[in-house]
Structures are given as C-alpha cells and as structure tokens.
Chain A
Amino acid sequence: MNSKPSPNATAVDRRTFLKGLGTSAVVVASAQAKAAADEIDKAAGPGPQGPGAVPVTLTINGEKKDFSLEPRVTLLDALRNYGPLTGTKEVCDRATCGACSVLVDGKLIYSCTKLAIDAQGHEITTIEGLAKDGKLTPVQEAFIECDALMCGFCTPGFVLATTALLAENPKPSEEQVRHACSGNICRCGTYPHILKAALKASGQAVTETTTVMTYGVA
C-alpha cells in the first residue's frame, strides 16, 4: 500500500487489523477496512456540514446528480422529493418493510434509513435504473409473467431484492429466495408468485399450482 498517512489518521495495516482470523481471512478483508485504507489516501475531508442545506452529489443509476440538502434528509426523501425518482416507495420509513430498498454498490439497503449525505461516493441503483433502453431485465419479465405483483407498491423493493440475490446466487433454492426477500413485506399477497418469478428468472423450473376445474366433473 503506498499511502501517505493523513495527519488525522493513525496508521492502518490491513494484516494486523484482521490478525487472528487465519491466513485465508487476510484476503477477505472487511469492506470497512478497505474503505478505511482508501480514506487514508485522501486528505482529511471537509469539516462538519450543516445543519442547513449543503451541496450533496449522488450517483444514481450511473448519473451524477447535484442536490442541496440538509444532512437530515434521507436518501429515500432525496430520491423521491428532490430527484424526483418516485419508483422507490415510502411505506414505513422505519426500516421494517423494504419498499424503499435500493442497491448501494450492489448491496440491498433501506434508503429510508440512509442519510443522503452519507450516500455520496457510492453507486446507487434504483428501480428506474434496472431496465436499459426500455428493455426489461429477466427478473422484471418474470415478475410480470408470474403475476408477482398486484397493487405494485412493494414491487420495486422485491424486484431489487430478487435482482441482488441473483447477482450473488444465480441459482437460488426456494428457501434462499425467501431468505433474500425476508426484509420485504407485501400486503396484497404476492409471495407465492414472487417465489415463482425468482426461480423462473434464474432459469429454474417452476410448478404450476393453480388448477382450473369445471363444476360438472365429479
């Protein structure tokens, strides 16, 4: 590492940091450790910002957008009311339901519980950023085909949760899909069809579980 130690930072050495976890662990560093290491290279950042509005630059769906926001504005609020990108939904605003889910550097998070000012310097992906040039992704197509949506308010969150899952685990089991979507709630009852859509999008077989019968047959 060719770091110029910043005057404010103590020296960090990734190896000693994760001492004791075994040799293989040295390679698998905490993401935080990497961030810490990278930060040392930068000069000490700006001092405290706010409480009034300050410039905030967010990279959303590959595009840099400039905002003027108070530190207390959440990423969700910034997206919806300043973006305006309303695909990400506000439902509970308390990190309990997943409708506000976005990807930050590919990781699924609740945007209601992330300060916009803290989301700078990361790649934010919202529901609007999945389809490219109007072409729906396999997950989006599968949701439509399997009717994994009803009122649709939870749908952006579930599409992102499923997308994040398949990026990490291209052939998940049903149990893994449930686990990956356990942070998202639906009130209309789309869960069975979301399970089907996730399996279908990953190219796995799906069983039909609806039977239409006529009345007359004994």
Chain B
Amino acid sequence: MNAFQYASAHSPDEAVTLAGKNGLYLGGGIDLLNLMKDYIQTPDMLVDVKKVSIVAPDGAGHHLPATITVAEIAAHPDLKKAFPGLSEAAGEVGSPQIRNVATLAGNLLQHSRCWYYRQPDIVCLKRGGDMCHAQEGENKYHSLFTGCSCVSPVVSNLSVILTALDAQVVVKRGGKQQTMTMAELYHEAWVNPAAHHSLDPQDFLLGVTVPGKRMRSAYRQQSEKREFDWALVSCAAAGNVTGGVITDARVALGAVAPVPYVVDEANQFLEGKALTEENVSQAADIILKDAKPLEHNGYKVPLAKTLIRRTLLALNT
C-alpha cells in the first residue's frame, strides 16, 4: 500500500473533514485495503469510521446504520423476521471472516470485481484508460445490460435486496442530509463508466431505511462454488402475498448490470397476479428482454430466468 495517515472520526462531519480531498473512509476495509495493496486506490488519509455515531433519522421503517456489520444483519432475529431476503443476502456475503467486519456501507459502495479493473498492470476504462477490455475479452462474469461502455456488474448482495425492498439511502452531502433511492445511489454507474455508484468520495453514507411495506422478501444467488464465491447472477424479490396473489412486487437482479437491475414493467405485470410458474416466467421474460449477451456470458440469461422464477415463488411460503 502507499503510505497514508490514519485517523479516527466520531461523527460524520468529522469524518468528512478529516478525509479532505484525498482521504477515504475505513469501515471493515475488506475492499478498500485490498484495492490499496494493488495500488488501485491510493488515498493519503484513511479515516476510520467504525466509531462514528450515527443518529437514526425520524420516520417509519427500519433504520440500519452504515456501520452495522453484515454478520449483524444476517444474525439479527428481528431483521430476519421482517425481511427474510435481507437475512439471506447478508448470509451469502463472502465468508464468516468477511461478514464479521464488513459494513453495510462498505458492501453497498464496494468497487467493481472485474478482473481488468483489478489487474494492477491494466488501466481499464473504469480507471481512466481508453477501453473496456471486457467487452471483447474475458467476459463470462460481466453484464447483460449497461447504459455505458463499462460492462462490469454490481456485485453487492445487499444492494440487490435493498433495491427490491425499496430502501432509502441517507447520505450527508455538503453538510446536509439527504435521502435517495437505491436506484439513485447507483445510477451514476449506469451512465458513467468511471463510476461504481453515485456518491462522491466526500459524501458520507449514514444509513439505509427499509420500509416495512413489503411483508415477504427472498434472495437467491447462484455461484460456481457453493460458498464464499461471487454470484454469477443474484435475484431479490419482495412484495405482499395473500392467497397466492402478489401486490407491491419488486424484483431486482444482481451481477447482470452495473446497477441492481429493475424493470418496472415486470413489477407492474406482477401486480395482482397469482404467483404461478407461468406468471413468474412471464415476469422473467419481461425483465430479460433487453439482455445483450457478450461472447461468454449468455448463460446468465437462462440462469437469471431460473433465479427470478425461484425467488418469486419463494415469496409464496
């Protein structure tokens, strides 16, 4: 790693001040420290934010502070009851060692896992170079959908389920607190190849508020290995189900686009429909209709279809 200063902040404002122009926030450090070892990020200051006190916002919903660990999310009995999909998604993040230290904010804001991005000797488009090497290269793990010329997909499990749950993100920006949707949190990555999300380095993600509106939620992913492996595709679904009929449906896909991928038309299609094989398959087709497979990732289409069907059907139970 490059040499840097280390400081500990006790409040979001202090963190922002200490970080200055070239500092970054240190939570669990799983992504940040390993990027730094490869000199892909080279901050001159690390501000430890694990002890930052975060005041929960007013209003309804379940407020998760940015510094809550993935392990805490996975184990929390009340979260498990209210949002089973969130618990499932958290339980699949990395390994026990990672879950014990990884924070909610760190998981949401983690950088692309594209091997071109992370190869220290390649400066890809996302790192300011000329081209996206994955487009014509080794792209079996890459996106089916994108709004720009970077095809690396979002890999945060929590981003996918929180999108399905229509969570709100609370951010301190320029001294003021503001709220944004999950889509807004990631939108920049859809349009700007250099971006992993929409936050600037100085923005401080305070937490996430999950509305209690949807009583059912589920998360499914498929990886090459059984555990401790990145999802090839992941899917989260949430809604209300009575007598096998779904309302307020929201479905999101992970690892297929730079953002948690949502197709509103599919959610609208599902409104008031019975959760049958036929209906969930149709919803899957709607979600995948604009898929543009690259040379090696076409398998993600049938895989995504399977996961969408299974995740939606899981809401029945």
Residues of chain A at the chain B interface (Cβ within 8 Å): 6, 8-13, 16-22, 24-25, 28, 30-33, 35-37, 39-40, 44-45, 47-52, 70-72, 74, 93-95, 98, 101, 107-110, 113-115, 117-118, 161, 164, 178-180, 182-184
Say yes or no for B96: interface residue by CB 8 A criterion.
yes
Q: How far apart are the CA atoms of A22 and B212 in the complex, in Å? A: 12
Say yes or no for B54: interface residue by CB 8 A criterion.
yes
Chain B residue numbers with a CB within 8 Å of A12 are: 53-55
Task: Categorize the interface residue count of chain B.
Answer: 35 or more
Chain A residue numbers with a CB within 8 Å of B98 are: 95, 110, 183
Say yes or no for B34: interface residue by CB 8 A criterion.
yes
Q: How far apart are the CA atoms of A124 and B186 in the complex, in Å? A: 37
Chain A residue numbers with a CB within 8 Å of B52 are: 36
A183-B228 CB under 8 A given contacts A10-B53, A109-B97: yes
Judge whether A8 and B14 touch: CB under 8 Å: yes
Judge whether A114 and B29 touch: CB under 8 Å: yes
- B100 to chain A: closest residue by CB: A107
Chain B residue numbers with a CB within 8 Å of A110 are: 30, 97-98
B69-107 contact mask (Cβ, 8 Å, vs A): 1 or 0: 101100011110000000000000011111011010000
Interface segment out of the listed B58-66, B141-149, B251-259, B284-292: B58-66
What 5 A-B pairs come out closest when comparing CB atoms?
A183-B95, A71-B6, A51-B3, A182-B227, A48-B7
**Residue from the list A18, A24, A95, A115 in contact with B56, Cβ < 8 A:** A18
Judge whether A72 and B63 touch: CB under 8 Å: no
Chain B residue numbers with a CB within 8 Å of A93 are: 37
Interchain Cβ contacts under 8 Å between A and B, 20 examples: A10-B11, A12-B54, A16-B55, A20-B56, A20-B63, A21-B76, A30-B72, A32-B51, A32-B72, A32-B103, A36-B54, A45-B8, A107-B101, A110-B98, A114-B29, A115-B33, A179-B227, A180-B96, A183-B94, A183-B96
- B211 to chain A: closest residue by CB: A20
**Residue from the list B11, B48, B63, B69 in contact with A118, Cβ < 8 A:** B48
Chain B residue numbers with a CB within 8 Å of A44 are: 10
Residues of chain B at the chain A interface (Cβ within 8 Å): 1-8, 10-11, 14, 18, 26, 28-30, 33-34, 36-37, 44-46, 48, 50-56, 60-63, 65, 67-69, 71-72, 76-79, 94-98, 100-101, 103, 212, 227-228
Judge whether B10 and A6 touch: CB under 8 Å: yes
Nearest Cβ on chain A to B136's Cβ, whole angstroms: 27
Nearest Cβ on chain B to A27's Cβ, whole angstroms: 11
Q: How far apart are the CA atoms of A21 and B62 in the complex, in Å? A: 6
Chain A residue numbers with a CB within 8 Å of B1 are: 72
Chain A residue numbers with a CB within 8 Å of B63 are: 17-21
Chain B residue numbers with a CB within 8 Å of A101 are: 97
- B14 to chain A: closest residue by CB: A8
Judge whether A30 and B65 touch: CB under 8 Å: yes
- B9 to chain A: closest residue by CB: A8
Q: How far apart are the CA atoms of A184 and B10 in the complex, in Å? A: 34
Judge whether B4 and A72 touch: CB under 8 Å: yes
